[in-house]
Amino acid sequence: VLEGVIKYRWNALPVEQRDGIKNYISDLIVQ
């Protein structure tokens, strides 16, 4: 369910926010 929401919301996000979220998630994964 969450994945579907993220994918839907993702397309509505500005590119800068997408990059910020990508960096945030990759930081979480690395730690």
pLDDT at residue 26, as a whole number: 92
pLDDT at residue 6, as a whole number: 78
Q: In the structure encoding, which two tokens stand for residue 16, read together?
A: 């800068």
Helices (H), the chain: 2-10, 15-30
In the chain, the number of structural domains is 1
Whether 17 contacts 25, CB under 8 Å: no
Whether 21 contacts 13, CB under 8 Å: yes
pLDDT tens-digit readout, 1-31: 778 887 777 777 788 888 888 999 999 999 8
pLDDT at residue 29, as a whole number: 92
Domain around 16 = 1-31
Q: Which residue is listed with tokens 């839907």? A: 8
pLDDT at residue 3, as a whole number: 84
